[in-house]
Amino acid sequence: MTNVTIAISPDWTIDLNIPGITVLEWDFKTPPPAEHIDIAVGPHVTTPDLVERVAETGAKLLQLGSIGYDSIPRDLPEGLAVANAASVHETATAEHALAMLLYAARDIDRVTANQREGHWETFHTLGLADTKIVLIGIGGVGSAIAQRLAPFETTVLRVARRAREDMYGRVYSLKDLPELLPEADSVIVVVPLNESTENLVDDEFLSSMKDGAILVNVARGRVADTDALLKHADRLKITLDVTDPEPLPDGHPLFEEATLITPHIGGNTDAMYSRMNRLVRRQVGNFISGEPFVNVVLGDKVP
């Protein structure tokens, strides 16, 4: 029988009551709990030193707890694969993006302020029906957002790195943004962080958006230039689940100027635990059977 050693961050509760499987808890800060580990399941928050720590154990797979892996170095040790947590966080993050969008579109901040003051005020809001939304990024989270926008009867213009046609229609490229942004009632940003997307949302980008438009950033903090966000916060409705720096220091002006800031909790729902459980069980099953790992973003797929 195959003996497999799995080290799992205490962030997760993984059911691996399988003969031949040894499960160890590891916080990825202290020394490894065993001399050799086959699969390491990292914490929810991905840090640059994970690879270095896991490499000491001879592991074949580092399973991340996040979809993003921009902090992971690209020069992996031979034989180590890194997999992201695709399938774990997309639905919850899309749900959160919609909540942020609705918060801004229906002026919920104004409503809650009135409630705290015991004041009844009726007013007109933008809403979502018949509005135009530019969705930048159509990967797993972006696609989940697009699916959830459909019942709201909006016009969604999807933007990716390159223009193309797919089964859902036209996909615009990032080069088309100067034409798309001025007509958008809302802009949702959900791109990965890389050289082409860092500071994508800059002064020029925000200047192109019309007064009163909504910006939702559920990508990475460094996708948006913080100084530019502050400059345009008085005329745009800026909602952020991610910031630069992150965490945002106490008293930072963005707290006061932005319409809504949430502390990078887009994927943090109860669903992520059961979904991570399923993903890890699949990875272990593939390791035992000699099948390729899934969700591999760096390194080799084959155990």
On the question of a common fold for 4-88+269-298 and 90-261, the answer reads yes
Q: Which of 96, 222, 264, 275 is catalytic?
A: 264
**Mean per-residue pLDDT for 239-257?**
97
User: Does pLDDT of 301 surpass 80?
Assistant: no
For the domain spanning 4-88+269-298, the CATH number is 3.40.50.720
The CATH number for 90-261, chosen from 3.40.50.1980, 3.40.50.720, 3.40.350.10, 2.40.50.180, is 3.40.50.720
Output the average pLDDT for the chain: 95
Q: Is 220 a catalytic residue?
A: yes
User: Does pLDDT of 96 surpass 80?
Assistant: yes
Q: Which of 25, 56, 153, 246 is catalytic?
A: 246
Residue 303's pLDDT is: 61
Q: Is 44 a catalytic residue?
A: no
User: Does pLDDT of 1 surpass 70?
Assistant: no
Where are the chain's structural domains? 4-88+269-298, 90-261
Residues 117-170 pLDDT 10s: 999 999 999 999 999 999 999 999 999 999 999 999 999 999 999 999 999 999
Q: Which of 220, 222, 232, 275 is catalytic?
A: 220
Residues 164-204 pLDDT 10s: 999 999 999 999 999 999 999 999 999 999 999 999 999 99
**Mean per-residue pLDDT for 101-125?**
97
Band of residue 2 on the pLDDT scale cut at 50, 70, 90 = low
**Mean per-residue pLDDT for 201-219?**
98
Q: Is 164 a catalytic residue?
A: no
Band of residue 15 on the pLDDT scale cut at 50, 70, 90 = confident
Residues 23-47 pLDDT 10s: 999 999 999 999 999 999 999 988 8
- CB 215, CB 237: distance < 8 Å: yes
